[in-house]
Amino acid sequence: MLPNVLQPSATDHVPVLADEVRQRLAVQPGETVVDATFGAGGHSALLAEDLRGQGKLIAIDRDPTARDYFEGFKRRHAAIQTRFLRGDFALVLGQLAGNGARADAILLDLGVSSMQLDRPERGFSYAADAPLDMRMDPTADRSARGLVNEASERELETIFRRYGEERYARQIARAIGRRRKERPFERTGELVETIKSSIPAPARFGDGHPAKRVFQALRIAVNDELGSLEAALPAAFEMLHPGGRLAVISFHSLEDRIVKRFLRERERGCECPPDFPVCVCGREPELRALGRKAVRPSAREIALNPRSASARLRAAVKS
């Protein structure tokens, strides 16, 4: 349950993989920490504890409602320096890095937050009928409503297949095209019913909600989540001091692949052919991954917080 809108607090928010994040970021007093996806401030509250009253925490979020949570966080952690920057984390991190800002620990907790999912009026959830929106930044131009009503059937099929790995992408896109000729989509419930009616009956009762993958795909496309991640990773890495730590929590394979590829490319050293007697390329590893595999939540955490089930954590230390 989310806290009251008028008195936001991180105390009711359950941060995913909290202990694992703290262990890998290993925040020390006096350091500078960046929580690039502040949300309701659950992870920031724990990382601020590790600063023990000494240091600085920069919070970033594109959702304007996060600022209210930040104000409460700021009051509770008045001993440390705090700052809230609103915007897409890729743009904000890029600006900070370009201006010479540096950090000791940076966290990216990707995907949609509980404070967005649990507010039906935001239109992220297929479980409640609400305006078809899905914008993490409510002031952004394009919403899910605009995308569903204006994109071609081929574009929609590509989005559903690429970002949602939806098996029935073509059938769903065609059904949307037929339905919107009669009247435009306005609400999530209308889209859910169209999805259900366009797929085979057995698929409606399979693993998970039949609209889950389409809603994920639309959300990713509306918010350009993968593009932001691609841009944010090098900016975050540039910001880190040598010895600085980066932790990224992803919630689906598309995000995790991007993170995994980025870390592997930066971890790779010499690229000379194996038959060269000595290295002539001079390439040195830029980071050290903390573990070869992504960390997943325990069975206990999943039982307590089912939304954590798909979470994957990867972390690294800058050389």
127 and 77 in one domain?
A: no
Output the pLDDT for position 235: 98
Q: In this structure, is residue 5 part of a structural domain?
A: no
243 and 169 in one domain?
A: no
**CA gyration radius, the chain:** 21
**Domain housing 160:** 119-223
Neighbour-count burial for 171-207, b at 16+ CB within 10 Å, e otherwise: bbbebbeebbeeeebebbebbbebbbebbeeeeeeee
**Residue 199 sits in a domain of what CATH number?**
1.10.150.170
Alpha helices in 83-224 (DSSP H): 89-98, 114-117, 144-150, 153-164, 169-182, 188-198, 201-204, 212-223
Output the pLDDT for position 283: 76
Q: In this structure, is residue 57 part of a structural domain?
A: yes
Q: In this structure, is residue 9 part of a structural domain?
A: no
218 and 127 in one domain?
A: yes
3-class state of residue 318 by DSSP = strand
166 and 146 in one domain?
A: yes
178 and 267 in one domain?
A: no
Q: In this structure, is residue 6 part of a structural domain?
A: no
Q: Of 190, 223, 256, which marks where a domain is finished?
A: 223
133 and 219 in one domain?
A: yes
Residue type, 56: K
Per-residue pLDDT of the chain (319 residues; tens, 9 = 90+): 233 333 444 445 689 999 999 999 999 999 999 999 999 999 999 999 999 999 999 999 999 999 999 999 999 999 999 999 999 999 999 999 999 999 999 999 997 776 677 677 888 889 889 999 999 999 999 999 999 999 999 999 999 999 999 999 999 999 999 999 999 999 999 999 999 999 998 777 767 789 999 999 999 999 999 999 999 999 999 999 999 999 999 999 999 999 999 999 999 877 777 777 777 777 789 999 999 999 999 999 999 999 899 999 999 999 9
* Token pair of 192 as six digits: 């859910």
pTM to 2 decimals?
0.90
98 and 241 in one domain?
A: yes
Output the pLDDT for position 27: 98
305 and 168 in one domain?
A: no
231 and 99 in one domain?
A: yes
Element at 75 (helix H, strand E): helix 66-76
229 and 219 in one domain?
A: no
**Residue 50 sits in a domain of what CATH number?**
3.40.50.150
Q: In this structure, is residue 13 part of a structural domain?
A: no
Number of domains in the chain: 2
Q: In this structure, is residue 172 part of a structural domain?
A: yes
Q: In this structure, is residue 99 part of a structural domain?
A: yes
Q: Of 223, 248, 271, which marks where a domain is finished?
A: 223
164 and 82 in one domain?
A: no
Output the pLDDT for position 281: 76
Percent composition of the chain: helix, strand, coil (DSSP 3-state, to 5): 45, 15, 40
Q: In this structure, is residue 27 part of a structural domain?
A: yes
218 and 150 in one domain?
A: yes
Q: Of 223, 251, 271, which marks where a domain is finished?
A: 223
